[in-house]
Structure 1
Amino acid sequence: MQLKSPWEPRLAVGSEPIYQRLAAAIAEDLSSGKIPPGARLPAHRDLSYQLGVGLGTVTKAYGLLERQGLASSVHGRGMFATKKNLTITKAIDLSVNVPPNIMSDRLLSGTLASLASAIDAKTFGAYTPPQGIFQHRLALAGWLQRYCASVDAERMILCNSGQQALSIVLAALLAPDLCIATDDLPFPGLQMIAGLLSLQLFGIKTDFEGILPSAFDKIAHEIAAKGKRLILFTNPTAQNPTGKTMSRSRLKDIAEICRHRDVLIIEDDVYSAFSAREHLCFLDLVPERTYYINSLAKILTPGMRLGILIAPSDQLGNLLRVIHAQGSTVSPIASLVMYSGSWMESHPISRR
């Protein structure tokens, strides 16, 4: 005779799908001790009947708990809570930005299966070109042009992440007279690299749109008067960490100051896919002085560590020398996953 489950079925409060709320309720009661470690969970049909939900909903909830290591199925006996020590904290970690996890298991497994037939030992055993494989760059350029019209495969370098792309640019431009202007509350990743390279950051006053043109022009004038070179680093869309987004008119005002003051721009556009349809980039306005950075980690999934760097044509050589020196060419696996799979075209943002 099977023992009855000690758990009183319920759904967690929230607007998530029912199977997620069911799994969350069980996880919460495991954490609080209402469900003892190793206890039997209700049978699928019993739980479906008691909560008035579909049998498939219960199956998905139990499957989610199994993937989280909180439950395990014993053939012929049923589903049991694991003896895992679970602690749920109410703290929310805001130190890392990650996109919603909307990649399905089916899409991931299908992509990995297609990868097996897309790569051979000869290709895998060869060094990746420092700029990345041209067919891969061409595919990325075609996709990114819906967010930035001036994306160009010829001037594109594939990197292992957007952060690596930023590191490569700053290493290539590094000089004793170099200074960086950015938002008064700067991107943490920029602070990290600037600290390693001993680069001085100048915070620019901002408003609800981000960097104020008048404040930026003043700093650019003062830096030039000291005989130093200035680079502007900016997240024009959803600036990290404030979330501010520049309007088209603000972008044009900042671009004109950069042209007038001879300031180079590092444009971190990793959130462009979440922008308005009339999205405009500094790369569109002043391509001759813009280093454009994007990344699939913030659009698709952090597991896709693939960064995009587009540079002025006359600077490609300097950037590629840095990559050669660092031995940091893009992973052939990441670029092949992007190229052989259907990740980008399957993403809801791609169909906007």
Structure 2
Amino acid sequence: MIVSGTIWQPNLADGGRAKYQALAKAIRDGIASGQLSPGEKLPPVRDLAYRVSVTPGTVARAYKILIDESLLEAGVGRGTFVAQPKPAPVRSLPAADRFFDPALDRDGQAHLLSPKMPDVGQTAIIREAMHQLADSTASDMLLRYPTRNTDLPAREAFAATLDPVHLGPFDIHNIVTSHGGQNAIVMILQSILTGTNPAIAVDELSYGGFRSAGVLCRADVVGIAWDDDGPLVSALEAAILDHNVQAFCTSAEVSNPTARQTTPARRVEIAALAKAHGVHIIDDDCYRLMNTDRIGPSYRALLPGLGWYLTSPSKSITASLRIGFTVAPKGWSKALTRTATFSSFGVTRLVTDLYAAIMQHPQIDAVVARVKSRIGADIDAAQRILAGYDMRAAPTVPFLWLELPIGWRAGEFCQAAESAGVLIKSADDFALRESRSVHAVRIAVNGLVPHAHFVQAMECLRDLLDHPPERIAI
């Protein structure tokens, strides 16, 4: 970019980027390097467009992206300036480890960053099962490596919870255990990706673990936009053709963070496209015990040789029990089992037997029902208090998606919420870096936050929405 008093000019010769993205990157790099100082005025749109041989629309789009990122700021009739850096919010403890508890409250904040299950009896069941297993397990079994035989009780207990109509035909040999759902995603990608430069597709706004798993497996990650019916078939087809995508990671029943579902008709279209190009579909259904309103067949049922189904008890019983389950497509269970064996020798019997005992406990269904009830009470309160704003939620899914009204940016709203004592996540936490800016937030239901405190947190957010700062309201 050319700025009065400087000799720096952006390099737009990046064949892998659209011109507006290359220009935005050049300005971003100039700010990061200090060549563009806070408060420095940028050229008018038409002037810069002429100097770097692009259209005014290209410059305007680049400016808009950087204004949304709070790197630039525009004043009516004044022009566009490099924004003053904002101080990082001060946190007394690492956010991921904090939660509100009346007995342990150190900061008085409602930690709604990540869904956590309330204790409605499952800890008592876990303790009881641990005692029983300690007394009944043979000593020699506590000294051996896990095998496909030692995790059989867990796979059988899990299989008893599955719906063959939703999932498609399967048997116990199709099920492979993992160290949680995230580990399952990594193992699946390790089993199916080929070549020196693989690529995967993810929903444009999606669970960050998909992206992390792709990076860990050296894969390029491509975002797929949605409409009201689910992932856009045209966008996925373009990604397959342009980037040689080998797998599409998605969540058909409950998309995190938007709480959307993919319609049955769209699933059929996506499955047909994947079959035509030999693309695997990895369907993460970790909210499945919470989500009883399934609206269509799974991708595994629609794609017998390419559809993967995985889940875990983290979002329905407890996140501390690190076990996940994958129902592999036809012909792939041996490859996934081999990956599990090579990476960790499998899940220890201390965990698999514990899971089986928990799922066979006579009170576990009542516990899950109480979890649903508590989550539903928080969601109902949020919808009542935030009524009138654009929200998306499902009664037993432990988060809701809030589209912010015009004037609020996601990052600024999260900072304002934190100042008011409420910690939530920005849409940016679920987007790829090159994705379009979305001004929305995800509010998680944290069962460790008492319901009354959750209600107070929603009232704080309502107040922020109703009374934005004067600078934003202008």
TM (norm. structure 2) is 0.51
Aligned equivalent of 1:87:
106
User: Over residues 85-128 of structure 1, what are the superposed CA-to-partner deviations in whole Å (9 max), with x where a residue is unaligned?
Assistant: x423335342x333343334542332223222442212222211
Residue of structure 2 equivalent to 1:333: 350
Amino acid at match of 1:215: A
Counterpart position of 1:172: 191
Structure 1 position 246 matched with structure 2 position 262: yes
After superposition, the Cα gap between the structure-2 partners of 1:313 and 1:252, relative to the gap in structure 1 and judged at 3 Å, is: closer
* CA displacement at 1:344 relative to structure 2: 4.5
1:128 corresponds, among 137, 146, 149, to: 146
2:201 matches 1:181: yes
Could you tell me whether the CA contact under 8 Å between 2:201 and 2:221 is conserved in 1?
yes
Aligned partner letter, 1:327: S
- State the match for 2:460 in structure 1: none
User: How many Å separate the matches in 1 of 2:267 and 2:349?
Assistant: 35
Pick closer, same or farther for the CA change 1:312–1:106 going to 2, 3 Å.
closer
The structure-2 alpha-carbon separation of the partners of 1:137 and 1:105, relative to structure 1 and needing over 3 Å to count, comes to closer
Shift of residue 163 of structure 1?
0.6
Question: Which among 264, 281, 297 is matched to residue 265 of structure 1?
Answer: 281
- Give the corresponding residue for 1:280: 297
Output the amino acid matched with 1:158: T
> Is it true that 1:309 corresponds to 2:326 in the alignment?
yes
Alpha-carbon deviation of 1:312? 2.6
Trace 1:191-206 onto structure 2 (pairs within 5 A): 191-206=211-226
Cα deviations by residue, 1:266-315 (Å, 9 ceiling, x for unpaired):
11111122141545211111121112111111221112211001213422
SS at 2:334 equivalent: helix
CA change 1:135–1:122 in 2 (3 A) is same
Preserved contact between residue 178 and residue 231 of structure 1 (Cα < 8 Å): no
Counterparts of 1:102 and 1:310, CA distance in 2: 29
8 Å contact from structure 2 (residues 197, 220) kept in 1: no
- Confirm or deny that 1:142 pairs with 2:160: yes
Which amino acid in 1 is paired with 2:139? A
What is the alpha-carbon distance in structure 2 between the residues aligned to residue 102 and residue 350 of structure 1? 6
Taking every aligned residue pair, what percent have the same amino acid on both sides? 21
Equivalences for residues 1-352 of structure 1 within 5 A = 70=103, 86-94=105-113, 96-130=114-148, 133-145=151-163, 148-150=166-168, 151-175=170-194, 176-223=196-243, 228-273=244-289, 274-341=291-358, 342=361, 344-349=364-369
Instruction: Indicate if the aligned counterparts of 1:160 and 1:331 stay in contact, CA closer than 8 A.
Output: no
CA displacement at 1:196 relative to structure 2: 2.4
Q: Using the alignment, how far apart are the partners of 1:239 and 1:135 within structure 2? A: 30
Find the aligned partners of 2:134 and 2:366 in 1 and give their Cα distance: 20
What amino acid does structure 1 have at the position aligned with 2:325? I
Q: Write the distance in 2 (CA, Å) between the matches of 1:291 and 1:350.
A: 30
Distance 1:128 1:148, change over 3 A: farther
CA distance in 2: counterparts of 1:348 and 1:91, whole angstroms:
24
TM-score (norm 1): 0.67
1:236-284 superposed Cα distances (whole Å, 9 cap, x missing partner): 1221222221122222221121112221111111112214154521111
Write the distance in 2 (CA, Å) between the matches of 1:138 and 1:126.
Answer: 21
- Which amino acid in the other structure matches residue 201 of structure 1? V
Using the TM superposition, give the Cα deviation of residue 169 of structure 1 relative to its aligned residue in structure 2, in angstroms.
1.1
Residues 211 and 171 (structure 1 numbering): CA distance in 2 closer, same or farther, change over 3 Å? same
**Residue-by-residue CA offset, 1:212-242 (whole Å, 9 max, x unaligned):** 223222322334xxxx352111111221222
Give the root-mean-square deviation of aligned CA atoms: 2.8
Residues 1:117 and 1:149: Cα distance change in structure 2 (over 3 Å): farther
Residue 158 of structure 1, CA deviation? 0.9
Q: Which amino acid aligns with 1:294?
A: T
Between 124-133 and 197-206, report the one with greater CA deviation.
124-133
- Match of 2:115, as an amino acid? N
Q: 1:167 deviation in Å? A: 0.9
In 1: Cα distance, 2:334 partner to 2:296 partner:
29
Contact 1:233/1:265, CA 8 A, preserved across alignment:
yes
**What is the CA–CA distance in structure 2 between the aligned matches of 1:332 and 1:147, rounded to whole Å?**
30
Q: Secondary structure at the match of 1:297?
A: coil
The whole-number CA distance in structure 2 between the counterparts of 1:181 and 1:104 is 36
C-alpha contact 1:99 1:299 (8 A) present in aligned 2: yes
Unaligned runs of 5+ in 1: 1-67, 71-83
> Which amino acid letter does the alignment assign opposite residue 218 of structure 2?
S
Distance in 2 of aligned mates of 1:190 and 1:219:
16
The match for 1:14 is none
